[in-house]
Structure 1
Amino acid sequence: MFKKIGKSLLASLASVITLVAFTGVSPASIWILYEPDMPDALKKLSTR
């Protein structure tokens, strides 16, 4: 019983830590908004 509770608590803690990490990083990272232009070679492949 205690193993089951311990696993669920650790899983919940890991989820909360991950959420906090992503929330803290997102506003500081402007590079995520950068979207490069598609190369011409890739455009030709995608139209086939």
Structure 2
Amino acid sequence: MFFSKCGFLLIIKFILTFSLSRFILENYIKKKYLIVHRTFKQIFTNLK
């Protein structure tokens, strides 16, 4: 009983950590992409 409860908690913890890190990673990539996109837009506008 104790072991299965621990295993269950571990799985939940793993899933939470995984989804949290994925969420952080996606936000990070979005921010990076937006910054890069904005920079390219400025360069492109300056070139015109």
Q: TM bucket by the smaller chain?
A: 0.5 to 0.7
Q: Which runs of structure 2 are paired with 1:23-34 in the superposition (5 Å)?
A: 23-30=23-30
- CA–CA distance in structure 1, aligned partners of residues 11 and 27 of structure 2: 26
TM-score normalised by length of structure 2:
0.58
**Percent identity over paired residues:** 12
CA deviations over 1:1-48 (Å, ceiling 9, x no partner): 10000000000000000010000010211488xxxxxxxxxxxxxxxx
Structure with bigger helix share is 2
- CA–CA distance in structure 1, aligned partners of residues 27 and 4 of structure 2: 36
Q: Which runs of structure 2 are paired with 1:31-46 in the superposition (5 Å)?
A: none
Aligned partner of 2:14 in structure 1 is 14
Off by >4 Å, runs of 4+ in structure 1? none
- CA–CA distance in structure 1, aligned partners of residues 13 and 22 of structure 2: 14
CA RMSD, aligned part only? Answer: 1.9
Unaligned runs of 5+ in 2: 34-48
Aligned length: 32
